[in-house]
Amino acid sequence: MASDGCTAWLAKPPAVEVRSAVGAGDVMLAGMAVSVLDQAPLGEALRWATALATASVTDYEPGTVDVKLAEQLLPEVELTEV
């Protein structure tokens, strides 16, 4: 979930086989930071960060991200304004 004080967004990741969640939160935070710095709308920043973190958990190596997999997962991330 992310909020700018006016709008809040909830992202639901797609189901994947989790191999290791180590570092996934760091990956998500980095994805949010880069997206916000790139001036992406908050909801889309959260969607991208969620796709990156989801891709991250599919690998046994902590903090590893397959960006191509994240791009494939991106449309599967459900984004809801709450």
Is residue 6 domain-resident? no
Is residue 38 domain-resident? yes
Q: Report the percent of the chain where pLDDT is more than 70.
A: 100
pLDDT of residue 21: 95
How many domains, in total, are found in the chain?
A: 1
Is residue 14 domain-resident? no
* Paired residues of 2 in beta bridges: 9
| Residue whose pair of structure tokens reads 């935070």 in the numeric block | 29
Predicted confidence band at 15 (pLDDT cuts at 50, 70, 90)? very high
Is residue 56 domain-resident? yes
Residue among 33, 17, 27 at smallest CA distance from 63: 27
Is residue 57 domain-resident? yes
- CA separation for the pair 55, 66 (Å, rounded): 6
Q: For 17-34, give the DSSP string.
A: --S--TTHHHHHHHHHHH
Is residue 2 domain-resident? no
Q: Where in the sequence is the domain holding 65, given as residue range(s)?
A: 20-77
Predicted confidence band at 64 (pLDDT cuts at 50, 70, 90)? confident
Predicted confidence band at 33 (pLDDT cuts at 50, 70, 90)? very high
Q: At 35, is the secondary structure helix, strand, or coil? A: helix
pTM for the complete prediction? Answer: 0.95
Quote the tokens at residue 46.
Answer: 């959260």
